[in-house]
A = this chain, B = another copy of it.
Amino acid sequence: MPPDDFVRAVEAVLFAAETPLTIDAIRAHVGAGDVRAALDRLAADYAGRGIGIVRRGDRWQFQTAADMAHMLRRDREEPRKLSRAGIETLAIIAYHEPVTRAEIEAIRGVQISKGTLDVLMEAGWVKPSGRREVPGRPLMFATSPEFLFHFGLASRRHLPGIDDLRAAGLLDPVDLAFDRLEDSEDGGGMAQSLALRRDEP
């Protein structure tokens, strides 16, 4: 049975109201009639819908269904690039884990701000990993499974070693560039890498 005009009026008044309304307040708008019966009818009509009519004390109001509340909040992801400090700190943790903040700073040669570790933890790539059993019991940090997943690594052992970094020209780039220049004079590419291999202890 479709709602009659009295029920419809109660429905519209309740919808447009800026605050929950008492039955008297509703009646002031809709005039004579059984407001309570109309409210019960509406509550029944809206049962099982995405919105409903609820009673708070002696006041009535429309609201969205409780199980739909999470829809009203939307998380929007905005891509953001990690800062230089962030990527360096992450690299140190990845290569040396588990590692304390003081150790990270010692390796980096620069202090790290609180925010840098927070960002890495927010990104889900770094997590606390116990405490170092030294005075002060500092927190240690390690990478997470999400870290491996994000960077497409099967395991931490797949991170390239120092030798690989050197071979790729990622280490000590100034000296390498100089050697490369010397090398090209006699047309041989091998001398450089041979010379480099001899560096190693």
Contacts and interface: CB of A to CB of B under 8 A. Distances in A.
Given A3-B49, A7-B50, A50-B9, A15 B71 contact: no
B2 A71 contact: no
B48 A2 contact: yes
Copies in the complex: 2
Contacts of A8: 49-50, 65, 68
A113 interface: no
A105 to B, nearest CB: 39
A51 to B, nearest CB: 5
Interface string A92-122: 0000000000000000000000000000000
A35 to B, nearest CB: 12
A13 interface: yes
Chain A interface size, as a band, is 20 to 34
A29 B71 contact: yes
Given A29-B71, A71-B29, A71-B30, A51 B3 contact: no
Contacts of A194: none
Contacts of A28: 74, 76
Contacts of A62: 15
A10 interface: yes
A30 to B, nearest CB: 6
19 contacts: A2-B48, A3-B48, A9-B68, A9-B71, A11-B50, A11-B51, A12-B50, A12-B51, A12-B65, A12-B71, A13-B68, A13-B71, A15-B50, A15-B51, A15-B62, A16-B72, A29-B71, A29-B74, A30-B71
Closest A-B pairs by Cβ, 5 of them? A11-B50, A8-B50, A12-B68, A12-B50, A12-B64
